[in-house]
Amino acid sequence: MRDKNFLIGAFIVFLIFLFLQITKPDLYISDRGLLLFLILLFGGILQFSTRHALRGGDVFLRTIPGVKAVEEAVGRSTEMGKPVLYVPGIQDMDQVETVAGVVILGHVSKMTARYETPLNVPVARSIVLKAAQEACKESYLVEGRSDIYNENMVHYVTDDQFAYAAGVNGIMNREKPAACLYMGKFYAESLLLAETGNSIGAIQIAGTASQSQIPFFVTACDYTLIGEEFFAASAYLSQKPDLLGIVKGQDIVKIVMLIMIIGGTLLRLFHDLGAINFNILDFLTITKG
């Protein structure tokens, strides 16, 4: 804890929060104070971890097999002379998963640029199309291979879920990509895509935070990035200290949450047993709409 600037900043923010909670100005919804406190606390932990990593602090990140396999998959495609198919989900850029999918696409396209492997990115939303094109273009530029960048490698298929699945399945059956990557938000089309990819013998890596689709991907794909692994993938692939620091911060937040869950359960238990009058559920319930 030698980061003086961070400590001063955190202290000022805490004072402002205290001031708001005590004075309760008209513009501030004080009933939601606990939530604001938690956002500030967790945000502060993440910010501290980032600064710690940027100052040269040690950050250990366990190996995520799915992320490691991304480079292998691109390498396999290169060897086989077949394209890499990247599916960034079927939702728009207002979903964090889609944004994370586009961010990972940036890293994947760097690899395809490096190895001169064809990349095919069918998208289901127009804004995702533009964002994905921009990410790929920049990656090819960074790798010094803007000459092989083709704007049509990222292309729009349709907004409709099953029409998109049919379109992507068609691409898979015609082009027979050696690697299929599914990174984003998925619904029922997940299994349609993953099973088709399996049938053509492609190496498949999926990453999603759509809980109901995780079992399908686990069954049909070679590697699956489950939930937070998917969000950490970008940090892992970039190896940037600030992003790695945030992943470490997430683990600290997880420990804090674990303590809160155990503490909350015990408080509720004591309340039910009549040992204390304090009801944690009343404390945590936000009444004002």
Partner 1 sequence: MLLKRQIPIFIVMFFGFLTLFGWFIDQKQVKDFVDIHGLQWYGIISTFAIFLGIITLIKLQLIKILKKQKGWQYSIVAILGVVFSFTAGFIYKGNPNIEWGAHVIEKGTMFKWIFEFIFTPLSATMFALLAFFVASASYRAFRIRNFEATLLLISGMIIMIGRVPLGSSISSWFVLYLLVFILGITINSIFKNRNYTLISFSSGLIIVTLFGMYLGWPHDKPGIFFLPTLQEWIYKYPNVAGARSISIGIGLGIFATSIRYILGLEKSYIGE
Site for partner 1 in 113-132 (CB under 8 A): 123, 125-127, 129-131
- Within 228-247, the residues that bind partner 1 by CB under 8 A are 228, 230-232, 234, 238, 242-243, 246-247
> For residues 250-279, which are near partner 1 according to CB under 8 A?
250, 253-254, 257
Candidate ranges 4-12, 69-77, 92-100, 266-274; the one touching partner 1 (CB under 8 A): 92-100
Nearer of residues 188 and 276 to partner 1, judged by Cβ: 188
Angstrom distance (rounded) from CA 17 to CA 37: 8
Which amino acid belongs to residue 197? G
Interatomic CA distance for residues 182 and 220, integer angstroms: 12
To partner 1, the closest distance from the beta carbon of 151 in angstroms equals 8
Any contact of residue 165 with partner 1 (CB under 8 A)? yes
User: What part of residues 62-91 is at the interface with partner 1 (CB under 8 A)?
Assistant: none
DSSP code for 153: G
How far is Cα 84 from Cα 181, in angstroms, rounded to an integer? 8
96 scored as a contact of partner 1 (CB under 8 A): yes
Q: Are strands 84-87 and 179-183 parallel, antiparallel or unpaired?
A: parallel
Q: How far is the CB of 58 from partner 1 (least distance, A)?
A: 19
Per CB under 8 A, the segment of 76-84, 177-185, 248-256, 266-274 that binds partner 1 is 248-256
Q: Which residues pair with 154 in a beta bridge?
A: 121
**Strand (E) or helix (H) holding 119:** strand 119-123
CA gap 235, 224 in Å, rounded: 17
